[in-house]
C-alpha cells in the first residue's frame, strides 16, 4: 500500500501532466510554442555557434551521413519520385521564359564564354590520349569527306564539271580512307603525333568558335526559341526506363564516390571552413545571414506544431512521454523527503 507521501507525489504528477497537456492543446498551444521558440532563440542569441556546437562532432555526423544516407531506401524512393515527376512534367504547361529571366541567362552565358581559356587548357590534356587522337582524326576526316561530297553534288549540276570533281573526290577519298586505315593499324609515335595534331586542331576550332561574337548571339537566339516552348515532361521524348537508367547510374556513382575516404576529408575541410567563417556568429546572426526572418521561423513552428502534437495526443503518446520525463522526479528520495 502506498504511503501518504507516495500518494501525494502521484497526485502532483497527475496535476503537472494535466497542466502541460493543457498548455499543448487548443488555444494555449500557439502561445506555448511561440513562447518556447522565442525563449530558445533569445537564449541562443547570446552564444556563438563555435561554443554551442562541437565541430569535430559535426564532422563525424557529416561523414557518416555522406556514407549512409545516399544509399538509403528513403533517398532511393525520393530519386524514383523525382524521376517520375520529371517524366510526367507539370500539370499545366507553361513557357520556360516565364520562369527563367533572359537577362540572367545572358549574364550566365557571358560568364561561361569567358571561360574559354580554361576550356582550352582542359582540352589540351586530351592530347595525351591516343584514342582521343584517333577519334579526332576520324572526325575531321569525315568532315572533309562530307564537304567533298557536297561539292560534288553541286558540281554534278554543271555540265563537264561533275566528272572532273568526281575524279578529285575519288582521289581524296582514297587518301582519307588510306589514312584512316593507317590510324587503325599503326601504333607508336606516328599515330601519337598525328592524333595530337588532330586533337589540337579540333580544340582550336572549338575554342575559336566559342570566342566568335556570333556564337553568343546564336546561343541567345536559341534561348529565345527555347524560352517560347512550353515546359513539358520528358515523357514526350523518352521513356521512364530510359530516364531511370541514367538517373540510377548517376545515383550509384554518387553512392560509391561519397563513401571514399578522400571525400570524407573534403567534407571535413568544408565543415572546418564553415566554422572559420560562421563560428563567431550567434544562431540569430546566422539566420540573418541566411535571410531567414525570425518571426517567419516562429510562425512556421506554430503552424507545424498542432499537427504533430494532435497526432501524439490522440495516440496517447504525448501523455506517456510527459509522464516518463516527470515521474522520476516525483519518485526521487528528495521529493519523498519533502512530502514525508
Tell me the mean pLDDT in the region 192-203: 74
Tell me the mean pLDDT in the region 21-34: 91
Tell me the mean pLDDT in the region 246-272: 94
DSSP letters for 29-87 = HHHHHHHHHHHHHHHHTTS-HHHHS-HHHHHHHHHHHHHHSTTSHHHHHHHHHHHHHHH
- Please tell me the predicted confidence (pLDDT) of residue 13: 95
Written as nine digits, the cell of 195 is: 592524333
- Please tell me the predicted confidence (pLDDT) of residue 186: 40
pLDDT at 151 over 60: yes
Written as nine digits, the cell of 234 is: 520528358
Q: Residues 43-55: pLDDT tens digits?
A: 988 899 999 999 9
- Please tell me the predicted confidence (pLDDT) of residue 181: 46
- Among 77-91, 137-151, 256-270, name the most confident range: 256-270
| CA–CA separation, 37 and 48 (whole Å) | 18
| CA–CA separation, 233 and 308 (whole Å) | 35
- Report the predicted TM-score, pTM, of the whole model to 2 decimal places: 0.74
| CA–CA separation, 72 and 125 (whole Å) | 37
- Among 2-6, 25-29, 320-324, name the most confident range: 320-324
Q: Closest Cα partner for 301 from 40, 43, 18?
A: 40
Asked if residue 244 lies in contact with residue 235, where contact means CB atoms within 8 angstroms, the answer is: no
- Please tell me the predicted confidence (pLDDT) of residue 195: 67
Asked if residue 75 lies in contact with residue 69, where contact means CB atoms within 8 angstroms, the answer is: yes
Amino acid at each position: 500500500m502506498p504511503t501518504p507521501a507516495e500518494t501525494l507525489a502521484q497526485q502532483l504528477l497527475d496535476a503537472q501532466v494535466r497542466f502541460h497537456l493543457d498548455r499543448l492543446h487548443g488555444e494555449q498551444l500557439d502561445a506555448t510554442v511561440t513562447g518556447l521558440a522565442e525563449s530558445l532563440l533569445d537564449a541562443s542569441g547570446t552564444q556563438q555557434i563555435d561554443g554551442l556546437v562541437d565541430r569535430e562532432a559535426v564532422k563525424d555526423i557529416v561523414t557518416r551521413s555522406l556514407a549512409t544516407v545516399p544509399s538509403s531506401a528513403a533517398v532511393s524512393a525520393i530519386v524514383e519520385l523525382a524521376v517520375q515527376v520529371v517524366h510526367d512534367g507539370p500539370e499545366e504547361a507553361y513557357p520556360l521564359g516565364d520562369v527563367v529571366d533572359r537577362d540572367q541567362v545572358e549574364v550566365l552565358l557571358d560568364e561561361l564564354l569567358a571561360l574559354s581559356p580554361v576550356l582550352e587548357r582542359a582540352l589540351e590534356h586530351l592530347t595525351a590520349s591516343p584514342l582521343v587522337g584517333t577519334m579526332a582524326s576520324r572526325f575531321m576526316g569525315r568532315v572533309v569527306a562530307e564537304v567533298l561530297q557536297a561539292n560534288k553534288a553541286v558540281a554534278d549540276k554543271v555540265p563537264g564539271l561533275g566528272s572532273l570533281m568526281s575524279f578529285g573526290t575519288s582521289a581524296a577519298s582514297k587518301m582519307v580512307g588510306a589514312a584512316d586505315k593507317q590510324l587503325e593499324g599503326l601504333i607508336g609515335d606516328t599515330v601519337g603525333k598525328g592524333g595530337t595534331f588532330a586533337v589540337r586542331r579540333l580544340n582550336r576550332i572549338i575554342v575559336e568558335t566559342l570566342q566568335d561574337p556570333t556564337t553568343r548571339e546564336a546561343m541567345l537566339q536559341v534561348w529565345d526559341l527555347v524560352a517560347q516552348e512550353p515546359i513539358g515532361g520528358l515523357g514526350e521524348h523518352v521513356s521512364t526506363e530510359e530516364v531511370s537508367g541514367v538517373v540510377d547510374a548517376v545515383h550509384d556513382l554518387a553512392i560509391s564516390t561519397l563513401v571514399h575516404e578522400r571525400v570524407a576529408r573534403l567534407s571535413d575541410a568544408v565543415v572546418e571552413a564553415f566554422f572559420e567563417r560562421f563560428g563567431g556568429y550567434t544562431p540569430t546572426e546566422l539566420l540573418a545571414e541566411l535571410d531567414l526572418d525570425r518571426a517567419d521561423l516562429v510562425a512556421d513552428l506554430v503552424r507545424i506544431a498542432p499537427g504533430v502534437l494532435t497526432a501524439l495526443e490522440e495516440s496517447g503518446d504525448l501523455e506517456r512521454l510527459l509522464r516518463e520525463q516527470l515521474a522520476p522526479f516525483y519518485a526521487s528520495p528528495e521529493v519523498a523527503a519533502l512530502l514525508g
